[in-house]
Amino acid sequence: MPFLLSVFFSMVITLDAWAGPLQSLNSIEHAAYEYAMEKTQCAYDLPQIVMGNLDSRLRLQACEEPLVAFTHKQLVGLGNQTIGVKCPSAKPWTVYVPVKVKLLKPVVVAAKAMSAKHILKATDVVVKQVDVGELRQGYLSDTALVVGQQLKYAMAMGTVIGQNAVKPEKIVRRGEMITLIAIAGGMQVKMNGTALSDASLGQRIRVKNSSSKRVIVGVVDAPGIVRVSL
């Protein structure tokens, strides 16, 4: 059964109340569609408007004036919305039409089910067109932004992979023997050290020099490699 809408009349109208023509339901839906499209195109690139159906039993006197569509909000957002359509003639009526505003964007999703702490490979992710109005979290459009990252939690196939779903892989572990590369005055010196915490690529880390026992702060340059500037 079509969606039953709330209709507000300035007077009770029945099919036998007049002998004049009825307002086409298609014209009401078209007015709502045009209004929604106009408003959403100002804010979004290539939005899609999905119209809800008016109840076929609805009987409205043909409006003598052009129909006026409106909302109680300045902008029409994504997702389920309501567009008002009113007749401003001497015998006014107002109908509220349900619409859904969709915005399809390329979004990175899981190509298969994966467990937490899984390191993402190129074959683990795909880009699909997704209605971003349905998303409650952020999304990414480039798989390169997640390949090599570690999943924070398990996910099913087709799950959207946002920035909050991944974290950099730890390539240095606490207690691991690493190579310190110190750069000073154009010279490069290599020393052995012990990592004092886990760290990811590009992350700052404290390392204990094996010879001097000094604690030095450096940046993870590669697995087992920490670069420091003296």
pTM of the full structure? 0.64
Q: Where are the domains of the chain?
A: 7-102, 104-168, 171-229
pLDDT in tens, 106-128: 999 999 999 999 999 999 999 99
The fold of 104-168 is Type Iii Antifreeze Protein Isoform Hplc 12 (3.90.1210)
- Give the SS3 label for residue 52: coil
**Per-residue CA distances from 89 to 7, 10, 26, 61, 106 (Å):** 16, 11, 19, 10, 45
208/211 Cα distance (integer angstroms): 9
* Cβ partners under 8 Å of residue 84, min gap 6: 69, 70, 71, 72, 94, 95, 96, 97
Mean pLDDT, rounded, for 148-160: 95
CA angle 69, 73, 75 (to 5 degrees): 85
Percent of the chain clearing pLDDT 90 (strictly above): 70
Question: In whole numbers, what is the pLDDT of the chain averaged over residues?
Answer: 88
Tell me, yes or no, if the two domains 104-168 and 171-229 fold the same way.
Answer: no
pLDDT in tens, 60-74: 999 999 999 999 887
Q: What is the CATH number of domain 171-229?
A: 2.30.30.760
Query: What is residue 119's predicted lDDT score, i.e. its pLDDT?
Result: 92
Query: What is residue 206's predicted lDDT score, i.e. its pLDDT?
Result: 94
